[in-house]
Amino acid sequence: MALTLSDVEKIAHLSRLSLTEAEKAQNLKELNDIFSLVEKMQTVDTDGIEPMAHPHEVALRLREDAVTETDRAAEYQAVAPEVRNRLYIVPQVIEE
């Protein structure tokens, strides 16, 4: 599938881009190169190959699950008008 200059102009219009003639020609070449690469990739036989979540087989580095900050909830909630069971209580704004 190859794009034409009118396709690029339509894409530019829909994207609200103002392109010069040179930019249109450059974008046409780049988009057609992308479509050409996609067409080549589609010809590769992938039957029997399991999809991967990541292209590299690497293990994630994990950190120790340790508390790094102190509990300051009481300090933060001290300025609230009303707090119950560590929850901020606010006036009802939606009628039942």
Task: Tell me, letter by letter, the H, E, C secondary structure of 23-81.
Answer: HHHHHHHHHHHHHHHHHHHHCCCCCCCCCCCCCCCCCCCCCCCCCCCCCCHHHHHCCCC
Comparing 85 with 61, the larger pLDDT belongs to 85
pLDDT for residue 1 is more than 80: no
Whole-number mean pLDDT of the chain? 92
The pTM (predicted TM-score) of the whole model is 0.52
Quick one: average pLDDT of 1-6? Answer: 90
In one-letter notation, the amino acid at residue 95 is E
pLDDT for residue 19 is more than 90: yes
**What are the phi and psi torsion angles at 69 (to 5°)?**
-130, 155
CA 14 to chain centre: 21
- Domains of the chain plus CATH, in order, are 5-42 (1.10.20.60)
Q: pLDDT of 31-64, one tens digit each?
A: 999 999 999 999 999 999 888 888 888 888 888 8
- Give the number of other Cβ atoms within 10 Å of residue 8's Cβ: 22
